Amino acid sequence: MEPNQFGTTAQQRSTTYMDAGLRRHMNNIYAKMSGGVLVTALVALAVGSSDTLLQLFLGGPQRYLVIFAPLAIIWFGFRPDRMKASQLMMAFFGVAVVYGISFAAIAAVATANPAFAIAVAKAFFIATSMFAGLSVLGYTVKKDLSGLQTFLSMGIMGLVAFSVINIFFGSDMMSNLIAGAGIVLFSGLTVWQTQDMKRMYSPNMPAEMANRMGWAAALNLYISFIAMFQYILHFLNQR
């Protein structure tokens, strides 16, 4: 290929355009995901600072509705193949709000207990550091990780099942095993998700489709981050 006046070929210019578009696409996904985390934190603080709201949402059997509501929204109310980007956005922030209500009890205890507040801060810092490192790994690794998808999906389904069972048994040993397995599984999921986001990007993708894919990817990353934070906090809170 003949270089232009700046010494770059058409292939090099195409690669540069692709890289710039991919960076914008990935940054947009992480911005969406970060917005969800921020909404969760703000809702948790708001509900956790109000005894009335805590009692309303978490003071009785209705707390199970709050606990399982994110799963219901994800499984039945988040369909990237059918829904518009605006609808996916609403569903995404709906999940973020419900998680915030679920975390209100954590916020309330952290407000009253400085030692626990430190554990929450440490868990958030560790989860953020891990998430960043795993995302970089997923973005840069050359090996195709698509084979991990089935293993990780089955593992997480098993994790959810054991978590539900343990609500009724309350076994500390099972809680530790679930938390340990959860950190491993969601770490692997973050790496695979990041690579998959990169692989699926196309500079010729229509804006609406790219936006829909962005919300779906943001939700996946959000869930992985929240899960890692919860499981890390579980271990730090035992000290």
Per-residue pLDDT reduced to its tens digit, 191-223: 999 999 998 888 888 888 889 999 999 999 999
pLDDT above 60 for 3? no
Q: Cα separation of 181 and 167, whole Å?
A: 17
pLDDT above 60 for 118? yes
Q: What is the pLDDT of residue 70?
A: 85
Q: What are the tokens at 96?
A: 């973020």
Task: Name the pLDDT band for 5 (thresholds 50, 70, 90).
Answer: very low
Count CA atoms within 13 Å of residue 48 on its CB side: 24
Place of tokens 């109310």: 77
Domain limits of the chain? Answer: 10-236
In three-state form (DSSP H/G/I as H, E/B as E, the rest C), the secondary structure along 167-208 is HHHCCHHHHHHHHHHHHHHHHHHHHHHHHHHHHHCCCCCCHH
Task: Name the pLDDT band for 239 (thresholds 50, 70, 90).
Answer: low
Q: What are phi and psi of 116, to 5 degrees?
A: -70, -35
Our CA dihedral for 126, 127, 130, 135, rounded to 10 degrees, sits at -150
For 153-199, how does the pLDDT look when each residue is reduced to its tens digit (9 = 90+)? 899 999 989 988 988 888 889 999 999 999 999 999 999 999 999 98
